Amino acid sequence: MAGLQDKRQAAHQPATERRYAIRINVQIDAEMVDQGRRRCSVTLTNLSITGCRFESDFLLRMNAPITLQIEGVDPIMGEVVWVEGKVIGCHFAQPLSPTICNRIIRTLRERALPPQNR
């Protein structure tokens, strides 16, 4: 029961004070699908094994279930945990393995390199 109480208390803290995983600033194009099966392009601006921040033109509500589709990895299911205008925070339903997180970041870096340096 103490664990649940700790989570409830943490929910009232600013997001930066209750993060449990290191976040990496990124610029990743992805597709977001909401529960109503609406699709839109989004840009992930940070990523960790437990969640991400992204920008979207869709209005999303708190606790809305979403799926993120990033090229090269299986769909990632999550839930909206905060919304500030067009910037959305997402907590993943299952943490990404460090291998998958590293693959996403490595693929991003490779795309940024000129073709002759890949």
How far apart are alpha carbons 61 and 45 in whole angstroms? 19
The CATH number assigned to the domain holding 74 equals: 2.40.10.220
How many structural domains are present in the chain?
1
Domain that holds residue 42: 22-117
Q: Is residue 94 part of a domain?
A: yes
Q: What is the structure's pLDDT at 62?
A: 93
Question: By three-state DSSP, how is residue 86 classified?
Answer: coil
Q: Long-range pairs for 33-42 at CB < 8 Å and ≥24 separation?
A: 33/66, 33/67, 33/69, 33/75, 34/58, 34/60, 34/64, 34/65, 34/66, 35/64, 35/65, 35/66, 42/68
Asked whether the predicted pLDDT for residue 19 surpasses 70, the reply is no
Residues 61-111 pLDDT 10s: 999 999 999 988 899 999 999 999 999 999 999 999 988 888 888 777 777
Q: Is residue 8 part of a domain?
A: no
Residues 35-61 pLDDT 10s: 878 899 999 999 999 999 999 988 899
Sequence-separated (6 or more) residues with CB below 8 Å from residue 78: 51, 52, 65, 66, 67, 68, 90, 91, 92, 93
Q: Is residue 2 part of a domain?
A: no
Q: Is residue 14 part of a domain?
A: no
How far apart are alpha carbons 96 and 85 in whole angstroms? 26
Asked whether the predicted pLDDT for residue 17 surpasses 60, the reply is no
More confident residue, 47 or 13: 47
